[in-house]
Amino acid sequence: MKTNLDRLRAKMFTAGLTAVLISDETNLGWLTGFTGSFGRAIVTADRARFITDSRYTLQAQEEVPSMEVTTFASPKEGDEFLAENIHELGILELGFESSIVTHSGWERWTTKFAPIKLVSMGPMMVELRLVKSPEEIDLLRTSCRLADACFDHIKRLIQPGVSEIDISLDIEFFLRRNGAEIGFAPIVVSGERSARPHGTPSEKLLELGDFVTMDFGGTLNGYNSDITRTVVVGHASDRHREVYELVLAAQMAALAMMKPGVAAGDVDKSARDVLATKDLAKFFGHGLGHGLGLAVHDGGRLGPGSPTILEPGQVWTVEPGVYIPGFGGVRIEDDVVVTETGIEILTHTPKELLVLPQP
Ligand code: GLY
Ligand code: MN
Ligand code: MN
């Protein structure tokens, strides 16, 4: 079976790179399995060297069996040690993560590594991480199962008089109590506040006739879930139903067209076209979705004009929303994996408009 190191090598050689330097913490975790906070991996055709500092010597030896591990300690300085290793490996040109390394980092490395030439790796790591292995998909499935369980658990709190912040704290408690970290601060917004797509939970109390949008996810064994549901408190008006049903139809249209070979931008457009039938596309200001994995926003965009072509193993969120100032908003977000023939939906929380509390 191909390892992530094999996949990186294949990709770098296709791009004409003979050596690369990986320094981003999440990319390093993906490539090596290392869980510490500082490391560097140098990869060439026949060598793979992992560098970290003395805090992690034993951990790196244990976690990174696929690479030669070498560590440094004070007074040796990190970039100096890195430069020595790069020179020792006979590297002349070195690919680096240009979308992650800061400008000052690039300037520092250019000086320290001279005369080695630094060249951009472009979107290589995003493209690699977007396509998940069967093991990663299993972890994402488990993470999504926890998100579903969390939604089921918090439904009992949706009633007049409960604050947004209390609901968000209960979401956090449930996720953490079940072994996950918080993937991002939960969004809980109600009534007119639900027109804020990424609003922060407030002390506002739920009232009859409020839309309540809850967007949350946990990081379980390193892998994230990201789910959103909007419900109504007490009684749904015709306008609630009309807006909700159209957002749901937009999501269903997008899900129906997802399969290998389809352009991400066309998936986004399919949802936008549905919203446009009732003049609601103007209230959908964000992209339809994003890659999901080790990071909540794992790279890749299911957005207007996105040229990414869907491939088996990619994991995406699909999250159309309509946010009407002075009225409220609806977002429905599921996580899906692209299969050979279509998609598998990883989040299973029901999507018909839920009016709570249930009698
Ligand atoms: N929770 C952030 C997002 O849905 O993208
Ligand atoms: Mn979300
Ligand atoms: Mn999302």
Instruction: Transcribe 336-351 into DSSP letters.
Output: EEE-SSSEEE------
Establish whether residue 215 lines the binding site of ligand 1, counting it when its CB lies within 6 angstroms of any ligand atom: yes
Per-residue pLDDT band at 317 (split at 50, 70, 90): very high
pTM score? 0.94
Residue 1, pLDDT score: 82
Confidence at residue 199, expressed as pLDDT on a 0 to 100 scale: 97
Contact 221, 143 (CB under 8 A): yes
pLDDT per position as a tens digit, 204-218: 999 999 999 999 999
CA 256 to centroid of ligand 3, rounded, Å: 19
Bigger pLDDT: 290 or 1? 290
> What pairs with residue 71 in β-bridges?
52
Q: Which residues pair with 220 in a beta bridge?
A: 223
Confidence at 359, pLDDT banded by 50, 70, 90 = confident
pLDDT score for 65: 97
pLDDT tens digits, residue range 274-298?
Answer: 999 999 999 999 999 999 999 999 9
Over the stretch 74-124, which tens digit does the pLDDT of each residue have?
Answer: 999 999 999 999 999 999 999 999 999 999 999 999 999 999 999 999 999
**CB–CB of 86/20 below 8 Å?**
no
Length of the chain: 359
Give the per-residue pLDDT at 300: 93
Q: What is the DSSP string of 66-124?
A: TSEEEEE-TTS-HHHHHHHHHHHTT-SEEEE-TTTS-HHHHHHHHHHHTTSEEEE-TTH
- Residue in 143, 172, 184 to alter for ligand 1 test, most ligand atoms within 8 A of Cβ: 184
Q: Which atom of ligand 1 is nearest to the CA of 297?
A: 5
pLDDT-derived band of residue 58, with 50, 70 and 90 as boundaries?
very high
Is the CB of 335 inside a 6 Å radius of any atom of ligand 1? no
Distance of CA 317 to the CA centre of its chain: 8
- How far does residue 124's CA lie from ligand 2's centre (Å)? 25
Average pLDDT over residues 286-311: 96
Per-residue pLDDT tens over the stretch 135-183: 999 999 999 999 999 999 999 999 999 999 999 999 999 999 999 999 9
